Structures are given as structure tokens and as C-alpha cells.
Amino acid sequence: MRTLSYLLRESWVNMRTNRTTTMVAILTTAFTLACVGIFLLLYVNLRAAAGWLQDDIRIMVYLDDRLASDSVAEVEQQLRGDRAVASLLFISKEQALGEFKAQFPSESHLLEGLGQNPLPASFVVALSPSFRSPDAVKRWADRVRQVVGVSKVDYNQDWIDALATVIRSIELVAIGIGVILSAAAATIIANTIRLTLFARRDEIAILRLIGATTGFIRIPYLLEGAVLGALGSALSLVMLKFMYELFRQQMRTTGRFAGLDNLMAFFPPSVCLALIAVGMGLGVAGSFVSIRRFGEAKA
């Protein structure tokens, strides 16, 4: 118990003695990790958006204009029997025309000029959750295209795919930047610990001579690294949350993206804790590197 309190006290003394260096290390770590956090937040939100879009996907199954009503019923029967189909809504030619006129009142004269209703009847299909992946949707659409009486199958997969490509790019950039900046954060902490080690080299030498094990000598410095990393990471989350709220506020007041701000999300508490743990890990790693270089294992 006394040993534990000694080790904790030593870590605290280390940080208090080098107050300025400690503060600078925490701040620079926080800024570095906040940069990583921005990409991570962007990535998480875009992925969530892509997920919603994918979940919300509606497939238009257009029917052949010459199809008799009993054949329409047959197609409907077939679709209803498909286990991939979660819900089905029939839109007759007349309903399609009505919707077009309602949505584009100024353009409705174009269709009136044609004499007859050119819009086909269709089914609006929503797929079951397990069939909503881009590949599954594509496979289903290809299969339904073969059904007799179906003239066209349409869905907005193209731009969902484009979004997926953007997300993949951001993912790569986030990983690249994350690795580089995490290494930078670990190096900052490593240098701080090196200063502490240098300041306390006489004490370390005495500890060695009186029979302290390598572990005993290392623990206060590893704890210091862990605390610096965790505090830096926690501070980066505070900074990110502040920027995030500011951004949301901006979106709300601009009006242009009204509603979109409600779809945005910050990291859930579990991810926040994981990020603090990552910061702590980086701190311990940085500290470990410094201790090894300092060579406290030597006599």
C-alpha cells in the first residue's frame, strides 16, 4: 500500500515539478489528437449517413405499359412472395401522373400535350434489412429485371456508391493522418518524460543501487505518460465537442442545411472512453520508448 502510494506520489511530483512542460505536452497532444478526431468524426458521420441512405433505399419496379391487370397482380404476387421484400406499394399510371402534377405543377402541361399518360405503373419496393447492402440490392434488382412484365428497375444506388467511395477515401486519409499524428503525440510525451528522467537521473541511480527493480523504477514514468496521454486525449474531445457544437449552431442558423444538424452525431460515450484509452496507450508507449533509450535497466 505504501509502495503504491509512493509510486503515485512520485508520478504526481514529476508532473508538478515540470509543470510547464507537462501543460505544454498535454496541450500539444490535445491539438494533435483533435486533428485526428476531426477526421474520425467526419468519417463516423458520413458512414452513419450512408447507412441511413442505404436503409432508406426505395426501388422503383416499373411495369410494362401493355401489361394486363391480371398480369400486374401476378407480378405483385411474385414480389410479395419474395423474402427480400419488406413492403410494397403499387402506384398506378394515374397515381403517377397525379404525383407528377403535384410535384411539378409548372411542368404538367408538357404531359397534357402528349394526349395520353406516358408514365408507367410501378411498385415502390422497400427491402428487408438483411437485403439492403449495395451488393444485395444490385443482385435483387438484376433478378427482378428478368421478371416478365417488368420494364425497368431503378434505384438511387449510384450516388450511394459515390458516397461510399468518398467515405473510403476519408477512411484512408483518417488512418494515414491518425498514424502520423498519433506517432507525433507519442513523441511529444516521450520527450516530456525524457526531460523528467534527465532531471531525476541521480534519484534513478540511487534507486538502482538500493535494489529497486526495473519495473519499480519505470512505473512512475509510465504512469506519468498514461496521465499525459489520457488528459491530452480528454482535452482533445472537449475541443472537438466545442467545435462540433459550433458547427451545428452554424448549420442551424444558416438555414440552408436545416434539419441536417439533427442527423449529425458526436462520438458516443463508449467511443470517447476508447479514445481516452488510446491516448493513454500512446502516452505509455512514448514513455516506454524514453525509458528504454534512457537505459535505466543498466546498472
Partner 1 sequence: MIQLIHVSKQYDRKPALSDVTLEIGKGEFVLLMGPSGAGKSTLLRMLIGAERPDEGQIFVHQKNVTTLKPSDIPYLRRKVGTVFQDFRLLPKKSVFDNVALPLLVQGISSADIRRKVTEALRAVGIEHKRDQLPAGLSTGEQQRVCIARAIVNGPVVLLADEPTGNLDPALTAEIIELFKLINARGTTVVVATHDPLVKAQVNRRVLTLSQGRLLPEERVMV
- Residues of the shown chain interacting with partner 1 in the complex, contacts defined by CB under 8 A: 1-3, 6, 202-203, 205-214, 216, 297, 299
- Shortest gap between Cβ of 230 and partner 1 (angstroms)? 26
Complex with partner 1: residue 114 or 210, whichever CB lies closer: 210
Q: Phi then psi for 34, rounded to 5 degrees?
A: -65, -35
- Shortest gap between Cβ of 237 and partner 1 (angstroms)? 35
From the list 1, 3, 2, 43, the residue with the least C-alpha distance to 219 is: 3
- Shortest gap between Cβ of 260 and partner 1 (angstroms)? 57
- Shortest gap between Cβ of 205 and partner 1 (angstroms)? 8
Instruction: Give the bridge partners for 152, in sequence order.
Output: 62
The 8-class DSSP code of residue 133 comes to S
- Shortest gap between Cβ of 295 and partner 1 (angstroms)? 11
Instruction: Give the bridge partners for 127, in sequence order.
Output: 85
Coil, strand or helix at 173: helix
Complex with partner 1: residue 105 or 211, whichever CB lies closer: 211
- Shortest gap between Cβ of 8 and partner 1 (angstroms)? 13
Spatial separation of the C-alpha atoms in residues 215 and 179, rounded to whole Å: 28
Coil, strand or helix at 87: strand
Which of 45-52's residues contact partners 24+ apart within 8 Å by CB, and which partners? 45/264, 45/265, 46/163, 46/166, 46/167, 46/170, 47/167, 48/263, 48/265, 49/163, 49/263, 50/160, 50/163, 50/164, 50/167, 52/263
